[in-house]
Structure 1
Amino acid sequence: MRTPIFLVIILVLQSLSPSSSTISSLTKGSSLSVEKPDDVLVSPNGVFSAGFYSVGDNAFCFAIWFTQRLHDGSHTIVWMANRDQPVNGRLSKVKLLKNGDLILTDAGQLDVWSAGTGNRSISKVQLQLNNTGNLVLLGSESKTWSSENSITLWQSFDWPTDTLLPYQRLTRYAKLLSSRSRSNYSSSYYKLFFDNDNFLKLLYDGPVLSSLYWPDPWLIGWQANRSPYAYGRERSAVFNASGHFQSTDGLEFSAADYGVGVQRRLTMDVDGNARLYSLDETKGRWTVSWQAMAQPCKIHGICGPNSFCTYLPNEKSEAKSRRCACLPGYNVIDPSDWSLGCQPNFTTPLSCTVGETDFIQLPNTDFYGYDITIYYNYTLEMCVNECLNHCDCLGFQFEYSSSKVYLDCYPKRLFVNGYRSPDFVHHRLFVRLPKDLLSSDTEPHERLPNASLSFYIKPLRNLSLDCSHQVISWLDRSYYKKPKQNAVLKFMVSFAFALAGFEIVCICTVWCFMYITQLDRSGVARQRLLKLNTGFRKFTYDELKKASRNFSHEIGRGGSGIIYKGVLQDGRVAAIKLLINEANYQGEEEFMVELSTIGRLNHMNLIEMWGYCVEGKHRLLVYEYMEYGSLAETLSSSQTLNSLQRFDIALGTAKGLAYLHEECLEWVLHCDVKPQNILLDGDYQPKVADFGLSKLLNRAGGNSNSSFSRIRGTRGYMAPEWIFNLHITSKVDVYSYGMVVLEMVTGKTPMTGHHTSFSNDGEMMEVRGLVNWVREKISENGRRKGSDSLGKIVDPKLQGEFDVAKMEVLVDVALRCVEEDRDARPTMSQVIEMLLRHENDR
């Protein structure tokens, strides 16, 4: 019986073994053929491979890649010899000639690439792929190989394409040049290189324009924490196996997952950002452990001329994190390639004749560079006149400098590097357009204050940050120069028009008042207004009563209403919120606030609303149904959230709140952040809900200039500002968020086992709650961090099994958020940054 078993084992081993042997090196006269898929060099450790790599239909490049496939079956390319000139799938070869030169031939005829190492004086030459991913051509005069008698004739580390590997130096003679796209490996316009000032910089070098964008181009030398002094002529940058990067200009950073045992690469990505990646070998995915640009819209060239970029930093997908839009009066050239920008709708150049062009205003918008000149301490009227006096002026940037306390004027000859963000509070762009174009494509909007006439404009489209439907308004025509006119004739015409207009307005006002009054008697007008403003579906009360089985399945309740589970007619499972106290003013006010607020918001970490009901005294809202209910329910149930899930919930909630605070042109405060208002979907991803107590803040007034008619929130999660009657800002939500995170970490509610008391005048006399308990437990060990102190405060349900690094981060972030001094608390975007530094610890 032993012989058959032995034969079976031999056959099985043969069937499992590779069909071809691994090629370790090339010697003189040998070659690799594109027609032989097995002609691949493999590093001794098996991590890297080199050979022909398919880059398209019948198109191949000689490349080096990570041998391990990613989750989608693809390989990660780290170097290419002929990225801009792929070779044919037949007869193409990589040859190591007898004269010592390494060449790549296309279809056996044309030499498309050469290492340039032809040297007949060297008797022995060998090409090999090292464990570092370096393809090295070695030469030796001796007939036997050894490290002592061989010299390096050529190596791929000296000629990087878009990627650096550990210990591969980027020098003054090399650069990283991005690819055109993730599937097109040819050279693109973004490069990482050392400039003549010895600085490591990022450059957009387009077919027409070029500009530096990292570090910030307006920073000089030491302002960017860089040193222009390099030793001799040496300029180099390198990172080691642990993920520590160091450059001769002073740039230094470490990977978020710093440490050995991880495969890493630094790549000049197709979107113009330089990123350090770490490989999760178990999942087959690369994760970002450092990046040069935290705000992708600051990268030049992404949105071409006459267009601007808007940024959604909380989107997980890179493709969705940036959006481009054309300036008014311009159309996109190629929707599939926004780098080409937009072209004007008007065929003739802007006229230099006074009165034939006008301006349109875009708030919160900045275009960097290409100024005709710069005028300091200018009024808006002066800036308008300067632009009108230049025939090549396409518009101007007008901004308030808080440091210099005056206004600056930047007339533009080109509109490039556009960026629209709520951060640009004092930045306004005025686009110059022909008047005939403007008058032929208009819709009415509100009149500007102090404007002599009413102005009209079609709303801009694709403004992803404009979640408040803010309109763009015309510049006051009173600023423009006008030709002299007959004063008497002008007065008579104006008086006639004014009188006729007044009569028309009076008639229309009376008619509209009678019509709306009649409609209001039955509530129809209000319902029509709601439908117009929100766009949601309007349900009848009977529909929702039937969907919820007569409101029989209660799944939650709060101060403003009770939530029931229901099934709509189209089969969707919904959460139906029935507002309580609906007959009084407060209930209807909260309904209107919640409906109007949610109607302006759209984010993956905010609850999605499907419809509403306004019928008699009934006020109902229809939401998407969240499978795992609220965070409060999950924490108090037998279901145990692991440390990774708690970290993800904290991060997702922070992203939702940051969107409310900072990414809308009309800021929103939630004012009641607590576990009951954080809902969890089927993947335990959080969505912030219940905006019934939210407070909209007009952007023009700033997010700190708010007034509230009553205290809002839930005891235990309320910031001290509510108690002391202080100015209410977005930091009240930050405080509440910190309390929620502490509750997630500890499993204890804010007031568990502790006492809070207040004096009659509202001053907090003693607070011994969850915050002090956590701080005391941490300080018992004489330090803030560590597994010993964490073990005393982490939720006992975890039974001591938790990710120490992630829980440390959550505690640290939470304690910063619950500082009594609101100025000491971080913003929600800063909270996201702190959490993302540790997200790759998974």
Structure 2
Amino acid sequence: MANRDEPVNGKQSELSLGKDGNLVLIDAGHYVIWSTQTKAKSSSSVQLQLENSGNLVLDDGDRSIIWQSFDHPTDTLLPNQAFTKTTQLVSSRSSTNCSSGFYKLVFDNDSILRLLYDSPDTTSLYWPDPRVAAWKAGRFQYINTRRASFDSMGQFNSSDGFTFLTADFGMARQRIMRMDIDGIVRVYSLVEHEKGTQWEIQWQAISHSCRIDGICGANSLCTYSQDSGRKCSCLHGFKMVNSKDWSYGCEPEFKSCIQDECGFIELRDTEFYGYDIRFHINSTLDACKKDCLQDRNCSGFNLGWKVDMGTYYCFLKTSLHNGYQNGVKVNAMPMMYIKLPKILVSSFDQKTIGSSTPISCSRPVLTPLIRSYVKKYDISKPIGYMLVLGCTIGIIEIICIVVFWYFSSQHSSATEESYFPAPTAFRKFTYRELKKATRNFREEIGSGGASVVYKGRLNDNRIAAIKRLKNANQQGEAEFQAEISTIGKVNHMNLIETWGYCAEGKHRLVVYKYMENGSLAENLSTGKLDWATRLDIAVGTAKGLAYLHEECLEWVLHCDVKPHNILLDANYNPKVADFGLSRLFDRSGINQSDFSMIRGTRGYMAPEWVFNLPITSKVDVFSYGVVILEMITGRNPTGKQHTSNEDGKAESSLIEWVREKTQDVNGIQTESWVEDIVDPSIRGEYDRTIMENLVRIALHCTEEDRDARPSMSQVVVMIQDPP
């Protein structure tokens, strides 16, 4: 990623190799974003070649290298790629933002291979452990050579004496060493399994992820357990600076205090490494408190026992960085005292320290690139305009002839073929192609009442989900026609991306982009979705339905919104799918419904279907509200949990159950109603205010009176901008 911190716009962007041997990336027609700044001896034989080793080499034809990518790694090192004092591995900012992050693998000035945390505010070394002398860690200092590499068999060697073997050492595999976004260097091997190949970790530099500097930001604590992984939490009296990114840390919710206004809270088995302003040996707790109270810059202190001297010591700290709390009591672990206003000291509860939030990757900040584009035309040759005009007229005539022929042939063959191709821009596949792509429909990934979905690989290696109608009867054909006609008119990031269809003889198939994480229903049944992901799914689904109802050229009613029809991609972004029961409406006739049959799934269907009332977009709003209640409670619309109940007894419907829980016998809301309905798998993760707002929105969407329900665009606003 040579230009990782200066991306191109994608308009008139060009990567070119000049005859002088300079590889140049240009944006907006004239902005030079990046170049190799090289010059070949001969302009006739210069070439750019990607070698089997993964090295991109620019040479002048006689194997004389003038530039190579191996000299400029980004965040990854390949086997036999030299790592020297002039190179470094720099992590990406997040999984979705490839710009330079804060973590680096470098050779330090003492010739030791180290991991470095380098943020805009501070810089620190955290591996090998800076509290351990280099020679005790098996490293050699101040040597002339700074060089490291690893081979395809899994052995790594560094000039400072550091070496290791991967867990699968001795097997010749494809491998990479990567500086990951969480500050840990790992070696991955490409391992083959029955269902394909995947990258697996074979070595990592740090096993305890809370020992990484800056991972939770300032004024916070990092805790780790094998069950829940690494979590961050703000200190008592502090709040997150950026709710989407823990690296920004926490900020105080109080003004600074002095002497008698202040007190201390005690954090057991806790330390904040570094940032010490004073050190006292043979000191008491009262003496340390007095010293910190008299210093306005003191934020707290560590009090510990120095075994070799047989006495107590304390470190006074002006800043609270790299906070770490051990989940297991350790005698040698010092006690941490944080200075706070007395009103906060009195409200502190040691048990609340465990209330933390999982680490989440920061989201990219999209900044528009303001560049003026160069229009390439030559006004000195007016004959060019005449040629363009003539060609345009000719193309229009050809299009008119083709359109006339197309409609004539369609009219003449209407009695022979009941299917007519929809006016869509995607591709029409042959049945033979899709049969080959699915290996004769071998891998089934889902099924419904009228169709089965298979996984397949197309000729261009794209992974697809291919839906095949079981019976091409009149009803099945109608659903197929509805889906093809609908998906050809929609285009939104929260709607399933459709690549084509097949209508050949009795075969009816639709080809979608494959969604790696399956359906929302599957993920709810396993209980692995955290609260933040569920909230994102709620917002994305609402945006997709709002687009169908209000932004399409022809308004669309989905008519079958349920967790099985909400698919999740690799990043758990929701995609509304399965338009087999959908219906198109002209803008002037959105309220005119002439449905010949009830559409939808039991439990998610609005009352209008049962009472034969006019059908509007509010039927989708009702179904959406049921889906949100299902995500919050972990129960299906009949009131039962996704996991089996202990007693197995029938329960009231989901909507009735939630409404009952939100009120007591006198119709007054209780304080614990949120905890009573929330899915046990997400308890302790959510913000109560946001959760209460989402429950109110879901109940608003499921009102029996359709006029009382909001529109989907109003739902989006209510979720993103709560009152």
- Relative to the length of structure 2, the TM-score reads 0.48
Question: TM-score of the superposition, structure 1-length normalised?
Answer: 0.42
